[in-house]
Structure 1
């Protein structure tokens, strides 16, 4: 993972962690359900954004390197990983 991607990911994770703790407090305080759900939706959106950043980095580093190599098995493996993760299947 590139250094700038790692730094960005860690900052986003810290913010997401704070959001999750906030939802926990909201539930403990018996806050209005719709407010809790809205916060959970914000967390899901933040995780989705983080997923995109990590996946983009993976494409620019690991996948690009494998596709440029002469190792056919490495290329096949990276493509299969992408198909599995984008298709929601476990490899």
Structure 2
């Protein structure tokens, strides 16, 4: 996993905050992202080989589903740790941040 991908996994939106993911969760996320990366390479190869459009579209749907799954795992962890922590600290701006993020995920 690249350092940029690792930063995404470890970040709770701002650079001075870190997530609270266990090593098991991080390994799970990294494995999922590695599989997604492989799927993307596979799709690229399918396009290069002029694969049947429906087959390519099905693979794209599979990647989108896999990314949504990673997003749900991260969102759950974010809400159970980062969001609760910031609310307990009196930082209610995290609610607007969370709503903005959820809107992006639901597009």
TM-score w.r.t. the length of structure 1 is 0.85
- 1:64 to partner: Cα distance: 1.4
- How many residue pairs end up in the alignment? 84
2:52 to 9, 29, 32: 32
Runs of 4+ in structure 1 deviating by more than 6 angstroms, as ranges, are none
Q: How does 1:1-91 map to 2 (within 5 A)?
A: 1=19, 2-3=21-22, 4-69=24-89, 72=90, 74=91, 76-88=92-104
Root-mean-square deviation over aligned CA pairs: 1.1
TM-score w.r.t. the length of structure 2 is 0.73
Greater helix content? 1
Structure 1: runs of 5 or more not aligned = none
Greater strand content? 2
Q: Which has the larger radius of gyration?
A: 1
